[in-house]
Structure 1
Amino acid sequence: MPKTAAKEAHMEATGFTPYKEKKGEEYMNENQRNHFRSILLNWKRELMEEVDRTMSHMKDEAANFPDPADRASQEEEFSLELRTRDRERKLIKKIDSTIELIDSDDYGYCDTCGVEIGIRRLEARPTATLCVDCKTLAEIKEKQIGG
C-alpha cells in the first residue's frame, strides 16, 4: 500500500477529519493549531497504547524454552518488537516537540525558508518541519552525498 494510502487509512481509522479552511482564514490560526494538536495527541496516545500492549505481551509470553531454537525465535521476536517500540519512542519525542512548536506559535512554517508548509502536507505528516520544495532539495542532496 503506498504511503499516502496507508496514511489516509490510518487517519480514517482514528476518526481524523480533514480541516476545512474558510475563505480568507489566517494560516495557523487557533482552530488550525487545535486541529493539529488533536491529531498529534491522538497519535501519541495510540503509540503509548501500543507500548503498553508490547510490554504486556512480552511479560505474558516470556518463557524459558528448553529448546534453543524456540528460545532463539522468541528472542528474535522480542528484539523486533523492541526495535519497533524504539522507533515509536523517538516518534513520541518528535510529537512532543511538535506540540511545543504549536504552543509557541512556531508550527506550520518551513525551518529552512520560512514559508507556510501547508495544511494538507501537515495533515499527511503532522511532524513535518520543511515545505515540499525544501524537503525535495534535502532528499536530492542526501542521494548525491549517499550515492
Structure 2
Amino acid sequence: MTTEKQLLAQPKKNYMNEGQLAFFTTKLTTLREEIKVHTTSIMNELSSQEHEFDELDIATNQEENRMRLRLLDRERKLLPKIEKSLTMIGDGSYGYCAETGEQIGLLRLLIRPTATLCAEEKNRQEHIEKGYRK
C-alpha cells in the first residue's frame, strides 16, 4: 500500500494513476466504514441513556445530545459525498475539478478526499457567495 508521503513524491505526470486511485479508494472506503460504525455507536448511546432528575444533569445531557446529533448529521451528509467520490473513481473523473477540469491536487485530496473542486474554483465560489450574503 502506498503511503501519503510516497503519493506526494510521485511525479505530476502520474496524476491519478492506478496506484493513486487504489489509495483513494481504500481511504474513502475506510472513511465510509468508520462513519457507519461511529453513527451506530452514537445512535446506541442516544437510545440507551438513563433519565436524569437533577436539572444540571438534564441540561448537561441535553447539550451533549445536541453535540452528538450535530456530529451525526455532519457524518450522514458526508456519506453521499463519499459514494459520489467512489463513483467518480470508477468513471475516471476523480481528482479533477468538476467546473474547470483542472487537477484538484493530491494534497487537497489527502485533506478532503471528497473534494470535487480545485482550490482556485472553490475560493472563487466562496468569494461569490460572500458577495450574496452582504
Find the counterpart in structure 1 of residue 101 from structure 2. Answer: 114
| Aligned-pair identity (%) | 34
The one-letter code of the counterpart of 1:26 is N
Structure 2 distance, partners of 1:109, 1:30, is 15
* CA distance 1:140–1:66, change in 2 (3 Å): same
Q: TM-score, normalised by structure 1?
A: 0.77
Task: Please give the alpha-carbon distance, in whole angstroms, between the structure 2 residues aligned to 1:72 and 1:138.
Answer: 40
- Select 1:103's aligned residue among 90, 106, 116: 90
Q: 1:142 aligns with which of 125, 129, 133?
A: 129
Displacement of 1:23 in angstroms is: 4.3
Name 1:49's counterpart in structure 2.
Answer: 37
In structure 2, relative to structure 1, the CA distance for the partners of 1:63 and 1:111 (3 Å cut) is same
Contact kept, 8 Å, 2:28 with 2:82, in 1: the verdict is yes
- For 1:131 and 1:123, the matched residues in 2 are separated by 13
In structure 2, how many angstroms separate the alpha carbons of the residues matched to 1:113 and 1:79? 39
What residue in structure 1 maps to residue 22 of structure 2? 34
Kindly tell me the number of residue pairs found equivalent between the two proteins. Answer: 131
Compute the TM-score of the two structures, normalised by the length of structure 2.
0.83
1:124 shift after superposition: 1.7
**How far apart are the structure 1 equivalents of 2:97 and 2:41?**
36
Query: Whole-Å Cα distance in 2 between the matches of residues 135 and 92 of structure 1?
Result: 20
Which whole-Å CA distance do the structure 1 matches of 2:67 and 2:111 have between them? Answer: 26
**Which secondary structure state, in structure 1, belongs to the residue aligned with residue 4 of structure 2?**
coil
Which runs of structure 1 show a deviation greater than 3 angstroms over 4 or more consecutive aligned residues?
A: 20-26
Question: In terms of mean alpha carbon deviation, does 25-34 or 105-114 score higher?
Answer: 25-34
Q: Residue 129 of structure 1 corresponds to which residue in structure 2?
A: 116
Amino acid in the other structure paired with 2:33: R
Equivalent AA in structure 2 for residue 36 of structure 1: F
Aligned to 2:72: 85
What secondary structure sits across from 1:40 in the alignment?
helix
Gapped regions of structure 1 (runs ≥ 5): 1-15
| Superimposed CA distance per residue, residues 39-87 of structure 1 (whole angstroms, 9 cap, x where no aligned partner) | 1112222222221221232244x12223344334323321220121011
Matching residue of 2:62: 75
